[in-house]
Structure 1
């Protein structure tokens, strides 16, 4: 099972990375377009090459319309897409000043509690995103500039949240099984090196 959930988490992280890369490119193009548009409207361009400046402006050189709306919708998905890999590899930030002096049994029990709480929070987030999705779907709300339905962003985020919740619940259940059986099921090297 670990292999399946690990591969699923990797796929989600790759998709999240591609989406995040697309967002960065979108923002760079938009900022470049906004800068060029400002220069084309400036005194220098209008006095030296007014025909070219006007032609470029008419051709659409400027910021990407709705760039912030797309960024808002896609960044939430990217965040949720990275959570499964972070959870399955134990990559969350941790402070072990106190726990490094505790016995392995206490640390194992503490890890179970932390993973159970994280799983509960992820399930709660997925449930709330689903409720938000239903609310936005029934209201018909759209974004201001691009006028795409707001529920699209919720739906994308819900995909990542559900997968993160499933992985988190599996990790928590596996940790409980480890304590119950007294043997390691998950790889021993899970955990962030902070």
Structure 2
């Protein structure tokens, strides 16, 4: 692939990752609003029942939102890392070391994606649903599996960028 085409593809990847992070943010804002409404409904002032299944929605949406943020965090080099021993190394060496760890992270996230996919398939096969809403459990698990693949891809992209960086 030529350099301009590769850069265009990577900038498209960045935009997709940013869009997924924004979706995660909107999901959390919606979730927070729902929690406020549910708690308000349960208060002594209103005395009504809260939003049915609110705790189920919080569990599922929080997991999905967390996976939405991870690829963006990876591309922006926002994950926690310790550079105590490498701080004095030349930039090129640090980039290579960081790239190796990005590849390890990508492989681990690929493993997580695989196991989430296996879990989603098992939940689908068993017909597992949430207790209150009766929502199929495999749906959020499968979404997290897809998002974990995106995290792995982001880790590999970030490793590639570090390897190609000029010192």
Does TM-score exceed 0.5, indicating one fold? yes
Equivalent residue for 2:98, pick from 90, 108, 111: 111
Aligned to 2:131: 144
**1:33-48 residue pairs with structure 2 within 5 A?**
33-36=41-44, 39=45
Match of 1:172 in 2: 159
| Number of positions where the alignment pairs a residue of Structure 1 with one of Structure 2 | 159
The 1-side partners of 2:87 and 2:55 are apart by: 44
- Give 1:174 shift: 4.2
Contact 1:87–1:168 under 8 Å retained in 2 = yes
Residue equivalent to 2:38: 30
Give the 5 Å matches for 1:90-129. 90-129=77-116
2:118 matched residue in structure 1: 131
Aligned to 1:7: 15
1:17 paired residue number: 25
Higher mean alpha-carbon deviation, 147-156 vs 98-107, is at 98-107
CA distance in 1, matches of 2:109, 2:39: 35
Q: Aligned pair 1:89/2:76, yes or no?
A: yes
Query: Which of 1 and 2 has greater Rg?
Result: 1
- What TM-score results when the alignment is normalised by the length of structure 1? 0.75
User: CA distance change for structure 1 residues 128 and 149 in 2, over 3 Å: closer, same or farther?
Assistant: same
1:73 to 60, 66, 87: 60
CA distance in 1, matches of 2:92, 2:139: 45
Q: 2:106 and 2:100 mapped to 1: Cα distance? A: 10
Please give the per-residue CA displacement for 1:42-91, whole angstroms capped at 9, x wherever unaligned. Answer: xxxxxxxxxxxxxxx6xxx3211100101111111101111111111111
TM value normalised by structure 2: 0.86
Q: Quick one: distance in 2 between partners of 1:168 and 1:97? A: 22
Query: Pick from 1, 26, 51: which aligns with 1:64?
Result: 51
